[in-house]
């Protein structure tokens, strides 16, 4: 049996007091290489470890090692100068050893806390931290990482948003899912996968958004090396990996970082500011450089240790505003405004650190208000994100499609309004998990074309073409790609059996085709951020519910016409096009291969000269009810 032994040589610590200066006064992005449990030596299976924890108000801190020993062994930690950090080194401890910290507060009360910087945890009910050496994994994704440094505004990004525990099968881990998920993503043509939070979290029903482990993956799906295997495997097959990251709030579980050393250390001290009232969680105190270091270190650790390609930052709006969800119970900042200046400073510094140290990694904001300059699309100071979820577009468009056809003419302007602000930010178009839960219905059942499932499927196919045709990158939550009928449920897997029905198989086939065009064939992704590469053709037919626009790619002569019929009657429309010659019908959502009624979509038309139109040429198109078409100019 291993017999832990204290190591009293402080030179074996991964830091000295001077190394904690930026942690105390500014922000240390590499704090995760100092605090927590760090391996400092190894002889065979005998490992030496440094344990360090920030607890400035504690009377004493002990390292508690269990359950191999009954009672558990305890070692007292020592203060590192006036840094508020406690540290001690212990030898002869194997990977897999469970531990916690016992903290005695100034009033004499004692509490057992998990390591805030733990690289792995055992989860409920004991929630102990686990010693782990993430550096032992052999990565083979160098080719992927070397080509990652690029301007993603000019690259195709089509993201498949996944909750790993309910995607395909229950009870499997990261490693077991790697091949199955990778094959599906490649087959469907997605460029990236985005996982709902994979941090350790005690409550499954929180979907991972109430994190207790900011540095370690969820034990339910396997070990840190299992997650590394999954990321490595996806990279080797050309798939980028994005993680949801939650620096806005954390749960109140006693074993976690709340009221850590007997004071409100990680959370805000002021009561009105402390609680996130929508979720009953606590809000981080961004005024403290140590808390900023903890969070920024978490972001960089995922990029460093796990080779993650992007972080989608959750609930950014709640970080930006002091009055977010507080009614009249809030206090203005020093300038009299409602902006949370310290949170904004933290966001900007984190995005700057990611750009500096991990170029090519994406930072994506879920920001639900009209806060200006979230991304760097416009000149001047910004929050520094690469992309922002386009939630305004999502809500406007879904409200239109949810309406019965008789009400759509009065909401027609919602489809046009989106263009007015579209180039103010670098946007990711999104249909996210939040839209298919809590009795909001699945994407398919939202469709207002009628009660008939075939009509709803036709409506959804039309929506998907609008989604992929609109300028901007793409994110689609799992199940939407084949027309899931039921709402997403965290404890159930998706309804894969629906693919036995040609209606659902057709929707999946359409998504595969749209990804093939956007990711692999066309160059419109390179012009997503260029206003001159998008042009309305006909926006005047609100009563007939038809709409058309043009997209230009970067390749010479790459011109695409998108035509839509959102109504319930077939129609013929003469649509103006800018160029003479042959136009091929690349996609017709009413094609039988997509679950529609038409037999073929391999048509080629010649644009005809029409002197009575604003442009010289036009296409005579036949648009089925609830359908969309993509026409491509043939060179």
What span, in angstroms and rounded, lies between the C-alpha atoms of 32 and 245? Answer: 16
Active-site residue, from 314, 481, 528, 590: 314
DSSP per residue, 528-597: TT-GGGEEEEE---TTTTEEEEEEE-SSTT-EEEEEEE-SSS-EEEEEEESS-EEEEEEEETTBGGGTSS
254 is catalytic: no
Angstrom distances, CA of residue 490 to CA of 30, 495, 626: 34, 13, 32
Helix ranges (H only) for 336-452 are 341-357, 391-402, 413-421, 443-446
What span, in angstroms and rounded, lies between the C-alpha atoms of 218 and 322? Answer: 31
314 is catalytic: yes
Burial of 273 (0-12, 13-18, 19+ CB in 10 A): middle
Active-site residue, from 48, 200, 267, 366: 366
Cα angle 370-402-513, degrees, rounded to a multiple of 5: 85
Q: Which residues pair with 325 in a beta bridge?
A: none
473 neighbors 427 (Cβ within 8 angstroms): yes
415 neighbors 390 (Cβ within 8 angstroms): no
What span, in angstroms and rounded, lies between the C-alpha atoms of 549 and 182? Answer: 34
What span, in angstroms and rounded, lies between the C-alpha atoms of 397 and 540? Answer: 17
User: Interhelix angle for 413-421 vs 391-402, to 10°?
Assistant: 170
Query: Hey, which residues are catalytic here?
Result: 314, 366
């Amino acid at each position: 049996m291993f017999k832990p032994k204290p190591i009293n040589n402080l030179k074996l610590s991964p830091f000295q007091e001077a190394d904690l200066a930026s942690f105390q006064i500014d922000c240390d992005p590499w704090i995760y290489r100092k605090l927590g449990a760090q391996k400092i030596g190894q002889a065979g299976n005998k490992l030496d470890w440094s344990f360090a924890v920030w607890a400035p108000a504690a009377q004493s801190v002990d390292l508690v090692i269990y359950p191999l020993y009954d009672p558990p062994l305890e070692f007292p930690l020592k203060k590192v100068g006036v840094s508020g950090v406690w540290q001690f080194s212990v030898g002869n401890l194997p990977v897999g050893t469970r531990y916690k910290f016992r903290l005695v507060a100034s009033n004499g009360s004692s509490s057992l806390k998990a390591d805030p910087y733990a690289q792995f945890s055992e989860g409920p009910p004991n929630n102990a931290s686990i010693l782990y050496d993430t550096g032992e994994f052999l990565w083979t994704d160098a080719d992927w990482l070397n080509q990652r440094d690029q301007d993603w505004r000019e690259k195709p990004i089509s993201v498949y948003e996944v909750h790993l525990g309910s995607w395909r099968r229950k009870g499997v881990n990261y490693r077991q899912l790697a091949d199955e998920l990778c094959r599906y993503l490649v087959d469907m043509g997605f460029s990236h996968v985005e996982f709902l939070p994979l941090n350790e979290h005690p409550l499954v029903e929180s979907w991972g958004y109430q994190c207790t482990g900011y540095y370690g993956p969820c034990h339910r799906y396997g070990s840190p090396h299992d997650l590394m295997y999954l990321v490595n495997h996806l990279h080797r097959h050309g798939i980028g990996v994005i993680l949801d990251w939650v620096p806005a709030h954390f749960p109140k579980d006693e074993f976690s970082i709340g009221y850590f050393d007997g004071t409100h250390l990680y959370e805000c001290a002021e009561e009105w500011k402390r609680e996130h009232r929508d979720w009953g969680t606590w809000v981080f105190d961004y005024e403290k450089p140590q808390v900023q270091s903890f969070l920024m270190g978490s972001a960089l650790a995922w990029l460093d240790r796990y080779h993650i390609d992007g972080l989608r930052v959750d609930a950014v709006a709640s970080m930006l505003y002091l009055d977010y969800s507080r009614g009249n119970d809030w206090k203005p900042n020093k300038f009299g405004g409602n902006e949370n200046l310290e949170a904004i400073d933290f966001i900007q510094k984190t995005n700057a650190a990611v750009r500096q140290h991990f170029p090519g990694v994406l930072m994506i904001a879920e920001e639900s208000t009209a806060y200006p300059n979230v991304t760097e699309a416009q000149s001047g100071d910004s929050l520094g994100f690469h992309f922002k979820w386009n939630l305004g577009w999502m809500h406007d468009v879904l409200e239109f499609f949810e309406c019965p056809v008789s009400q759509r003419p009065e909401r027609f302007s919602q489809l046009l309004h989106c263009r007015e602000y579209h180039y103010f930010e670098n946007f990711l178009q999104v249909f996210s998990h939040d839209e298919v839960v809590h009795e909001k219905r699945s994407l398919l059942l939202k469709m207002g074309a009628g009660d008939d499932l075939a009509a709803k499927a036709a409506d959804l196919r039309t929506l998907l073409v609008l989604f992929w045709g609109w300028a901007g990158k793409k994110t689609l939550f799992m199940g939407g790609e084949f027309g899931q009928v039921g709402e997403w449920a965290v404890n159930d897997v998706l309804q894969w059996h629906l693919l036995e029905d040609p209606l659902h198989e057709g929707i999946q086939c359409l998504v595969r085709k749209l990804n093939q065009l956007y990711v692999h064939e066309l160059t419109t992704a390179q012009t997503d951020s260029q206003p001159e590469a998008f042009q309305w053709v006909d926006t005047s037919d609100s009563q007939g519910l038809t709409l058309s626009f043009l997209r230009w790619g970067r390749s010479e002569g790459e011109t695409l016409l998108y035509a839509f019929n959102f109504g319930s009657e077939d129609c013929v429309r003469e649509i103006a096009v800018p160029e003479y010659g042959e136009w091929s019908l690349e996609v017709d959502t009413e094609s039988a291969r997509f679950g529609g009624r038409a037999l073929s979509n391999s048509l080629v038309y010649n644009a005809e000269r029409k002197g009575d139109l604003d442009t010289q040429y036009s296409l005579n198109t036949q648009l089925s009810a609830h359908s969309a078409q993509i026409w491509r100019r043939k060179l």
